[in-house]
Amino acid sequence: MLEKNRLRIALQKSGRLSSESYNLLIKCGIKINFQHNQLIAFAENMPIDILCVRDDDIPGLIVDKVVDLGIVGENVLEEKLFIKDNVKKKKFYNLLIRLDFGICRLSLAIPKNSAYYGLDSLKNKRIASSYPNLVTQFFYKKSIPFKLCILNGSVEVAPRAGLADVICDLVSTGTTLEANDLKEVQTVFNSQACVICRLGHIENSKQIIINKLMNRINGVIKARE
Ligand code: ATP
Ligand code: ZN
């Protein structure tokens, strides 16, 4: 059972951010006994509980104030908490620190043999992506019409399968694009992992732990440089 007075931190259960997120907390001096496939882990030496979930769930857990802190990629945050009217952009969380890992970019890529003479060559093309909001926002700002093909996996095979002309997917080294005969033509969004904090009143005892943790995270990041 989760106790209300313990700080709750959501981490990605298993994926690209998991090991670095767990290691960061361990380097901060939190003793956690992680068990495989466990949803909740309890810190032994600090009043902290860790929730291990899918990264897509972390923005919602923060907005709903189910957890106090979360470690998640900015790409997922922006996509999940996207609101159409940017002018009235509502604040859903506080970004406490960028972590310098999980560095990637959401990029547009097309088959290597396709001609490219700037974004206009993508006009009215079908774009496969797991990030419909970020893609839509990007093309809306450029006033370029396009069609969507929302896929939550295997985006890179969409052009070959005849499902789309273009993909908009996360890229770090570019090897996946290369393996699928695609070329990157435009960055849409730059991302890295960050620590976010929920809005609303935070009890003093929890705030003290958050401050302590943030000081230690800062120290870990500085030591890496
Ligand atoms: P989950 O099962 O938690 O939903 P997932 O499959 O959506 O996981 P991962 O592939 O583990 O997600 O990626 C998690 C995050 O890691 C991404 O949202 C992004 O912020 C970051 N990341 C860094 N490099 C890459 C990359 N090359 N490809 C994909 N994601 C990357
Ligand atoms: Zn995910």
Ligand 2 mean position, distance from CA 55 (Å): 5
Q: Whose CA is nearest to atom 13 of ligand 1?
A: 16
Q: Kindly give the number of the ligand 1 atom that is closest to the alpha carbon of 130.
A: 7
Rounded-to-integer distance, Cα 176 and Cα 187, Å: 16
- What local confidence, expressed as pLDDT, does residue 34 receive? 79
Give the dihedral of Cα atoms 96, 97, 101, 103; nearest 10 deg.
Answer: 90
Q: Whose CA is nearest to atom 4 of ligand 1?
A: 54
Q: Which residue has the tokens 């956690």?
A: 32
Reported confidence tier of residue 153, pLDDT bands at 50, 70, 90? very high
Four-way CATH pick for 7-102+192-224: 3.10.180.10, 3.50.50.60, 3.20.20.10, 3.40.190.10: 3.40.190.10
Adjacency order of strands within the sheet including 104-111: 147-150, 126-129, 166-171, 104-111, 182-191
Contact at 8 Å (CB) between 59 and 180?
A: no
- What local confidence, expressed as pLDDT, does residue 35 receive? 80
- CB of 56 shorter than 6 A to ligand 1: yes
Q: Does position 114 have pLDDT exceeding 60, yes or no?
A: yes
Mutate to test the pocket of ligand 1, among 14, 17, 76 (most ligand atoms within 8 A of CB): 17
- By DSSP bridging, strand 182-191 and strand 104-111 are antiparallel
Please calculate the CA angle 16-194-178 and round it to the nearest 5 degrees: 40
- Global ipTM: 0.97
Which CATH fold topology does 104-191 show?
A: D-Maltodextrin-Binding Protein; domain 2 (3.40.190)
Reported confidence tier of residue 4, pLDDT bands at 50, 70, 90? confident
Adjacency order of strands within the sheet including 193-198: 40-42, 48-53, 7-12, 69-73, 193-198, 93-98
Contact at 8 Å (CB) between 181 and 57?
A: no
Ligand 2 mean position, distance from CA 56 (Å): 5
Name the closest ligand to CA 103: 1
* pLDDT 10s digits, 182-221: 999 999 999 999 999 999 999 999 999 999 999 999 999 9
Domain boundaries along the sequence of the chain: 7-102+192-224, 104-191
Amino acid, res. 63:
V
- What local confidence, expressed as pLDDT, does residue 84 receive? 63
* pLDDT 10s digits, 19-63: 999 999 999 999 998 787 889 999 999 999 999 999 999 999 999
Ligand 1 mean position, distance from CA 17 (Å): 7
Q: What is the pTM of this model?
A: 0.95
Name the closest ligand to CA 53: 1
Q: Whose CA is nearest to atom 16 of ligand 1?
A: 16
Ligand 2 mean position, distance from CA 130 (Å): 10
Helix count and strand count (H, E) for the chain: 6, 11
Q: Whose CA is nearest to atom 27 of ligand 1?
A: 172
- What local confidence, expressed as pLDDT, does residue 106 receive? 98
Name the closest ligand to CA 12: 1
Rounded-to-integer distance, Cα 205 and Cα 25, Å: 19
